[in-house]
Structure formats: C-alpha cells, structure tokens
Amino acid sequence: MHHFHYAGQKLHCESVDLAAIAQLHGTPTYVYSAQTIADNYRRLASSLTGLDLQICYAMKANSNLAVLRHFANLGAAFDLVSGGELRRVAAAGGDTTRSVFAGVGKSEAEIRLALETGVFGFHVESEPELARINHVAGQLGRKAPIAIRINPDVDAKTHAKITTGKSDNKFGIPLKHAAAAYAAAAQFPHLELKGVQMHIGSQLTSVTPFAEAVAKVVPFVAELKKLYGITYFSIGGGIGIIYQDALASGSQAWWDAQPEAERPLTPEAYGAALTPLLAPLGLKILLEPGRFLVGNAGILLSRVEYLKRGAAKNFLVVDAAMNDLVRPAMYEAYHEIVPLTRDTTRAALKADIVGPICESGDCFAKDRTLQAVGEGELIAFMSAGAYGYTMASRYNTRGQVAEVLVSGSRFELVNVRESFETMVAGEKIPGFLKI
C-alpha cells in the first residue's frame, strides 16, 4: 500500500499534485511520501506482536536527512554500514546508541567513531574484524558490544547481486564455524558478546527462505544464550516490494483482487511465519528493513525530451538517466512508468524508455507500452524510494537531482539540485599545468 494515486486525471502524492512539484523544483526530482513511510513502519512493527522488537532502518536504501528524522520520530533505530551513515544519523537527530554497525570492511577510523559516538552493537563479519574491534576498543579503554553475522547457507531466491546468505557470498561466518568464532570472541578482553545476526538477501517475495534461515539458526542462538548470556537476535531485512503493478498496488481493491496463493509477501504473513520461531528464545529481536519501508514510498519525476521514431522501434528520451536511477542498468530491474496526466483517449505508445547518457546501458525499459506522451510532458518512475538517490552518481557531469518530501497537502524541498559549482568545488588544477 502507498499514497500515490490519480485524483481525477492528475497523479498525486498524498494530497499534492506532482505536476506542481515538477513546476516548482524541476526534473528529475525524487519525491517521497511521509505517510507511506509511516504506514509501512507501523504495519511491520505490529506484525510481530508479542516480541521485544527493535526496528533498525537499513538507511543505505535512502539516507536523506529528512527521511532519517522521520524514522527517528517514528521510533526507529538504524542499521549503518559506514562512518558516513553514522554521522548522518547523528545529524538527523537519530539515536546511534540503539543502532547497529554492519559491513564487511569496517576501518579502524570507523570503529573508533562508532565507539566514541556509541552504538548498540557491531555486526561482525569475520574473525580478523573481531581482532580489529578489540584492538581499537582497547586503545579507548572500552568494551565493544558485538554480534557475529552468521551465514546460514540459505538460498534467498533473489537477484544474484543482492543475495547474501549463501556460502559463496562474502558476508558473515558459516554456521558450522560460528561456535568456534564465538569461543574465540569470548577470549578478547575488550569485546562484549551481545547477540547474533543474519541477513540472507534483499527483495525476497516469499516467506519460505526467511523461515528456513531462522529455523536453521535458532538452535544455535539458544545455545549461545546459555553459554554467553546474549540478549538479542537480529534477523536482518529483505522483505520485497511491488515493482510490477506498483501504482495499482496502492489501493485496497487491488489487494482484494489478488488470488491468495499469488498475493505478494505482506508483513502480516512474515510475522505469522516467524513469530512462533522467535518467541521461545526470549530475546530482543532486531529487524533491519530498508527497501520495504521506503521503496514504494518514493518516485522519480522526469520530463520527456524527445520521441525519436526509428526504423525498428521508438525511443522515448527523458531527462532522467542511469546516473539518477541505476537499478535498471545494474540489476535489469523493472520500474513501472506512468504519465502524470492520464488520458485514456490517447493511443498506446510502444518504445524503449532511455536517458541522455552516451551509453546503450542508459535504458530504463525496453519495448514498454504506455500512454502516448510527447516532448515536455511529465512521467513518474514508480517504486524508486529505495536505492535511487543513494546509488546515484555524477556520471557525464550530471549533478545530483533534487529530493522532495510530501506530508498531506504540504511538500518541501529536502535536498537541493546540485549545481556545477558544487560539483567541482573540491577539484583543483595544479599550478604546473599552465595554459
């Protein structure tokens, strides 16, 4: 469910006509729905009732300061993967002491920053990392709270680039070696064993891999509770969102029309499957969702530059590009593309939707059929709230786009469009390169 819908023939975010945002702030522009974020958060939190639950938003999905403040106000903690993300949480007024620090390559500087700022726990990916955290904590005269990430060797059946729980992935320590890793960690004087962590992948559309992984790891977690008195079990994130039929899925009528066997994974189904497995542990349960909370809460506004009619096919050239939204080029990902003004009297147009970058890979969709649109008209890429702006680049010296947050009938620019002057501000031509 989300709050993007047509009011009459105009596409709205909550109560705001998206064309008004495009007119005021230009395109390309990311637009986020505060109400959708809040609904997703509360729905997930209520789906695991009876558990001592702590939701740590995986901010790599969308790290805009306004979005982070919104999550902090909702009561979320955060899942961090860099020192920069830690600083963002602090800058947004979030609670770092309830947040967890993950990632396979934490530097000494990042570990030091996390210890000095305060985090709920380090999610450790390898035995060498244990030694590094112990070393830095010793220098500061502190004990570092840690949980080791377990790799359960469960196939998440998702895209190869976003699966993380198989034995050939770079993440975590294999379950068969985990007991030895905890025994070794217990010998370090500056480490405090607080929990266990796992995460098997992203954009999972079935509850089965989640249940399989949790069931596989729970006996080991129970044993660790007896041996070391651990207090939490983090089961990661990974609940998928709807990319096909994204706009229609914002209505209850669409959900009601789906056959039960084909209905997309919901928080309710997730909670119903996992709560019975987790409740007997008597531990705090951490979730680290990202995409589920923000993916369908955001869109990318874009303007049509040209309709190029070729001999073999049509090309709809828009002002957004792969540097703004890289998922289609990187993952062959699908995003629904809809017009901001709906007109059922128009003929259908079949075309490749492409950006202006000088690469054939700068293509959002091939042979996509949509309402005919022409130069200057506006479109929206749905389901773009996760891994959109955070994965953007300046390729082709294209500045980072603007971001807008909507709440009810109000909207505000929460990140200005990057200027050329800002892009080159840190660059310098050395004196020995004289004209």
Pick out the residues of the known binding site for substrate: 291, 327, 331, 359, 387
Q: Counting beta carbons within 10 angstroms of the beta carbon of residue 346, is it exposed (0 to 12), middle (13 to 18) or buried (19 or more)?
A: middle
| Residue found by looking up tokens 């070729």 in the block | 310
| Residue found by looking up tokens 């244990």 in the block | 130
Answer whether 93's CB lies under 8 Å from 70's CB: no
The helix/strand count (H/E) of the chain reads as 13, 21
**What sign for the dihedral angle of Cα 259, 261, 262, 263?**
positive
**What are 78's strand-pairing partners?**
57
Q: What is the CA radius of gyration of the chain?
A: 23
Q: How far is CA 274 from CA 93, 163, 197, 204, 264, in A?
A: 32, 20, 15, 15, 17
CA 291 to chain centre: 4
The one catalytic residue in 13, 56, 358, 363 is 358
3-state secondary structure of 101: strand
Write the single-letter amino acid at 3.
H
Which of 123, 136, 154, 81 has the alpha carbon at shortest distance from 232? Answer: 123
358 assigned to active site: yes
Exposed e or buried b per residue across 66-87, where buried means at least 16 C-beta atoms within 10 angstroms of its C-beta: bbbbbbbebebbbbbbbbebbe
Q: Rounded distance, CA 22 to CA 254, Å? A: 28
H or E element that contains 286:
strand 284-287
DSSP letters along 298-352, please? EEEEEEEEEEEE-SS-EEEEES--TTT--HHHHH-----EEESB--TTSPEEEEE
The pair phi, psi for residue 143, each rounded to 5°, is -110, 130
Answer whether 51's CB lies under 8 Å from 278's CB: yes
Q: Rounded distance, CA 211 to CA 213, Å? A: 6
User: Taking each helix axis from N to C terminus, what angle separates 267-278 and 208-228, rounded to the nearest 10 degrees?
Assistant: 30
Residue list for the binding site for pyridoxal 5'-phosphate: 238, 288-291, 387
Which of 22, 16, 14, 15 has the alpha carbon at shortest distance from 380? Answer: 22
Q: Where in the sequence numbering do the catalytic residues fall? A: 358
